[in-house]
Amino acid sequence: MTVSLHFLLILTLITESKSVNTVRTESAGTISKVSMKAGASVSIPCPYSSQHRNNVKYLCEGYYWNSCSYAIKTNSQHESEKYSISDDQIQRIFNVTIKRLTVINTYYWCAVEIKSGPDDRQYFHLSVTKGTPSLFVDDQKVTGFIGESMTINCHSRTSGIIKWCKLHSTCVADVSGLIDGTTVTINMKETNVFSVTMSGLRPESSGWYYCTKGDFQMPVHLTVTTKPTAAPTTVTGARENATEGQNQNTAQDKSFPVPISLIILLGSLIFIVIVALSFLFILRTKRPKIQDSTASKLNEGELVYSEVTFKKTNAAQDESGADVTYNSVTPVKQEGVRRTEAKDEDVTYNTVIHHKQNV
């Protein structure tokens, strides 16, 4: 029995020693040094104590605290061309964003006004370079879904201990650990890239994190939300959506006046149509005359003029002393290319000429 108890004790110590080697957690610090590329923008989270929720927060620019100058404050303008500031009183973190980074003016202080004493402050330095930063991520703002996993890739060009930390919480170093009930796994994918995977995300997993290697930190904001599901579309829903779309279109039509360019375009189209119709009308009025002249030429070409002379007998010649000649015009009918002879009723007599004979 004693041997069994000793065996269990030894096994427990071995298990705990393994867990210590694979899971290392420590208290999270603050952001003190960030590497960025010139021309880019960066957001820096500044944590503060719960008793300072309603105090004024501000960003001060300068290497020395006594000589730094106000950049932006929460009780005045919240955004300018260079800076912006916001305060999350639930997370007890105010966020400052610095835009269009340059290699000068890279020393700052996150500060909280304290009425009864010196202001609470936190110093950080921006290491701005024209080349590749020493430590950076693909995006400072990422979104994950409850119950799923999220992976963040941290690109590094420096040496040192690797950590993944959450502000106001703990850090995980080396291989794996837990942060607010979420499992964190760190994996070296490549020489200059290490990935951080957070599994089993929960709503309380939302917040500011940062990856660190050596002296550099890179902050990342994670938002955990419910994964959207595709709801089945019903006929009624489709009709309601169509009705809403029509109402929106109608409202837009009423709210927005007709552009002048559209009026000019419609006027030009109407003018072109009127000109085209007038041209067609002129062509139609001229076409019958052309057809009539053509028909007259064709009819004239189809007429055959002939002369018929009747000689009288001797007795008739004695009485009149002349021969009778009849001129006739005969219309010739065409059937394809073939002509047909005119009938007697188709002959028109128009001239009778009397020729006198010499006695």
What pLDDT score does 353 carry? 47
What pLDDT score does 260 carry? 80
What pLDDT score does 245 carry? 55
Q: Coil, strand, or helix at residue 169? A: coil
Residue whose entry in the numeric block shows the structure tokens 């420590």: 26
Domains of the chain from N-terminus onward: 24-225 (2.60.40.10), 301-356 (no CATH)
What pLDDT score does 246 carry? 57
DSSP, residue by residue, 220-276: EEEEEEPPP--PPPPHHHHHHHHHHHHHHHHHHHHHSPPPHHHHHHHHHHHHHHHHH
Residue whose entry in the numeric block shows the structure tokens 């001797």: 314
Instruction: List Cβ neighbours of 120 (8 Å cut-off, separation of 6 or more).
Output: 48, 49, 52, 111, 112, 114
Q: What are phi and psi of 280, to 5 degrees?
A: -65, -40
Q: What is the pLDDT along the chain (359 residues), one digit of tens a residue?
A: 444 444 443 444 433 333 333 344 566 678 999 999 999 999 999 999 999 999 999 999 999 999 999 999 999 888 999 999 999 999 999 999 999 999 988 999 999 999 989 999 999 999 999 999 999 999 999 999 999 999 999 999 989 999 999 998 899 987 889 998 899 999 987 889 999 999 999 999 999 999 999 999 999 999 999 998 876 555 445 455 555 555 555 444 444 455 687 788 888 889 898 988 888 888 877 655 444 444 444 444 454 545 545 454 444 444 444 454 555 545 544 444 444 454 555 545 554 444 444 43
- Sheet bearing 83-88, strands edge to edge: 42-47, 93-98, 83-88
Give how far Cα 77 sits from Cα of 80, 152, 204, Å: 7, 33, 31
What pLDDT score does 113 carry? 96
What pLDDT score does 232 carry? 55
Radius of gyration of the chain (CA): 52
Which pTM was predicted? 0.58
What pLDDT score does 241 carry? 55
What pLDDT score does 239 carry? 55
Amino acid at 194: F
Number of residues that this document lists for the chain: 359
CB count, 10 Å around CB of 219? 20
